[in-house]
Amino acid sequence: MVTRLDDKGLKRQSRRQLLKLAPVAALGVFAAPGLNDRLVMAGVHFSDWAAGVLFRKQHLAQTFPDSEVVPFAKFPYNYYDVVDPGVDLENWTLTVEGDVQRPGEYTLAQIQALPKIRQNTRHVCVEGWDVIGSFGGVRISDFLKLIGANTSARFLEVTCVDDYYEVLDMESVLHPQSLLCYEMYDRPLDRGHGAPLRLQMPTKLGYKQAKYLDTFRVANVLTPGKTGYWEDQGYSWFGGL
């Protein structure tokens, strides 16, 4: 719609309209060094909050027939330090602590006595790759019952033989597909994949699924600087799918 204005009027209009655009300039704070890293971390925390809200407790991740599972040799070994931290498989026990009625040392046999679940699910890495693998183990929720855990606690902290550590939200831990995994491809977990016991959760990214489990702690507080190995360096804490 073409109209006619005198030069002054047009300039006045233009100035006024330019000022109204000022709020956009506020985004310039993201260019400020020292400030922008805190701002984007706030963005990650907001995303994690939203992810927690979006999480559907009973919604199952897709499972696949055996024909769609990648060959064992094509399931990547991912680790942060060494592929084999030299776990003493003979004398291994899982140490249980925190808000539980029966803390102590649990053997693999005690864990394997719980109902076994076998599932073919997609393993998604934060890097972007994904593989469909075959996993066997017990529901974490069953194990939490065994140890008498307070499942209204907010977090599960795990530490690993290789000093890796993770903290998970209780809702995801209680998901029916969240496993304490001791088998892959119907064989005992090999050392590179986290023998003797790892987390396997198709609702979480790979880095949340800690391997070579050592201790298991039910907690209510998320300690800053102790939120997870990669999380403490800037990854999303929720890391959910």
Partner 1 sequence: MSDEERREPGKEDQAGAEKDAAAPPDAAASAETENVSIEATVEKIEMVADEATPEETTAEEPEGIRAAYEHPLAIRITHWVNAISLFVMITSGLRIFRAFPSFGPKIPEKVLLDIPKSLTLGGWLGGALQWHFTFMWLFAASGTFYVAYQLISGHYRTLLFTPRDILGVWPMVRHYFFFGPKPPATGQYNSLQKLAYTSTIGLGALSLLTGIVLYKPVQFSWLAFLFGGFHLTRIWHFAAMCGFLAFIPGHLIMVAVHGWQNFYSMLVGWKRDPEYQE
Provide the binding-site residues for partner 1, judged by CB under 8 A: 1-7, 9-10, 12-15, 17-18, 20-21, 23-24, 27, 30, 37, 39-44, 46-47, 51, 54-56, 59, 61-62, 70, 73-76, 122, 124-131, 202-203, 230, 233-236, 240-241
| Structural contact between residues 159 and 165, judged by C-beta atoms closer than 8 angstroms | yes
46 to 14, 20, 161, 179, 228: CA distances (angstroms): 37, 28, 32, 28, 18
The nearest distance, CB 188 to partner 1, in angstroms, is 21
Nearer to partner 1 by Cβ, of 47 and 223: the residue is: 47
Residue number, 222 or 241, with CB nearest to partner 1 = 241
- Rounded distance, CA 216 to CA 214, Å? 7
Token pair for residue 109? Answer: 């046999």
Nearer to partner 1, 159 or 203 (CB): 203
User: Shortest CA distance to 167 belongs to which of 105, 91, 230, 81?
Assistant: 230
Please report how close the Cβ of residue 21 comes to partner 1 at its closest, in angstroms. 6
Give the nearest distance from C-beta 114 to partner 1 in angstroms.
24
130-139 vs 198-200, strand pairing mode: unpaired
Return d(Cα 56, Cα 21) in angstroms, integer. Answer: 40
| Minimal distance, residue 155 CB to partner 1, in Å | 20
Closer Cβ to partner 1, 3 or 101, answer by number: 3
